[in-house]
Amino acid sequence: MLKELQNLVWIEKKITAEILEKLQEVYDNKDFAGYTNLFEYMVKGLGYSEATASLRQSCLKLIREMPELKVKVSEGKLSYTTLARSYKFIKDQSTEAKRATLSTLENQSSRKALEILEKQSLAPEIKVHKRCYQDKVRITIDLSHEEYERLQRLKALSSHAHENYEKLIKALIHTAHKKYENTHFKQHKSKNPRYIPQRLRNHLLKQAKYRCQYPGCMQDHYLQIDHIQPLAKDGRSTPDNLQVLCHHHNQQKACSH
């Protein structure tokens, strides 16, 4: 019985993925079978409850914005439930901020993911005011009490090295930056040839200045990692064979093959 149940759940997951794939097509083609929008189509045309339709729509919006999420779901790192629930928390964030939030939810149960999201949304938003001068930039930043206490502790711990906040913060920027620059790319054990490790992905995006690398295209949304020599033609998932393309140019390239 348990084995049967497990099998059914597996089928359920597979069907959900297939349904979303089809809904994505409907969404992209804007053909809602006579209904005014996808939501109405899902409720009136397909008979979904409004709650389910809304969750499905949330997933679609996120996947459309960050196509790599589909891979994460298929790898089991994120579930559709987690994606759908996270939507209302992150919908107003920039794509990069959304990515950052979603990465903290990877490999978490959807219950735990909700906890994380709720905790984050309670945290006061950090405000930064920036003023540019010819030779420097002055920023003032609002920290929560908790963050300020942490900063104080950091300063106390490293007091011999950084006698004031200014030096401490500069040192922190330096260390964080260095850590980022020193990213090494280990050969990944994943059997999936499409798999591109997150660090490599980040590196490629950064190298591309978070923009599409198609000549003349400045798109900074809906970015995808593209295999210059396609996998089907023995291209590999190595840095020299990867580039960042926007959804549009990736599609265009796919069509030209």
Please report, as ranges, the residues that interact with Zn ion according to CB under 5 A.
Answer: 212, 214, 217, 219, 246, 249
* Phi/psi at 170 (5° precision): -60, -40
What residues contact residue 135 under an 8 Å CB cut-off, 6+ apart? none
Residues 6+ away with beta carbon under 8 Å from 101: 86, 89, 90, 93, 117, 120
Least distance from Zn ion to the Cβ atom of residue 246, Å: 3
User: Minimum distance from CB of 223 to Zn ion (Å)?
Assistant: 9
SS3 227: strand
DSSP label at residue 22: H
The strand pairing partners of 140, in sequence order, are 129
Q: Given the complex with Zn ion, which of 63 and 226 has the nearer CB atom?
A: 226
Q: Return d(Cα 121, Cα 161) in angstroms, integer.
A: 34
Range list of H helices, the chain = 2-29, 38-40, 50-65, 68-74, 80-90, 95-104, 110-122, 145-157, 165-181, 198-207, 247-256
- Nearest approach, Cβ of residue 180 and Zn ion (Å): 25
Identity of the residue numbered 207: Q
Nearest-approach distance from CB 218 to Zn ion, in angstroms: 8
In whole angstroms, give the CA distance from residue 49 to residue 59.
16
Question: Measured from the CB of residue 216, what is the shortest distance to Zn ion in angstroms?
Answer: 8
Nearer to Zn ion, 63 or 245 (CB): 245
Pick between residue 66 and residue 113 the one whose CB is nearest to Zn ion.
Answer: 66
User: Minimum distance between the CB of residue 245 and Zn ion, rounded to whole angstroms?
Assistant: 6
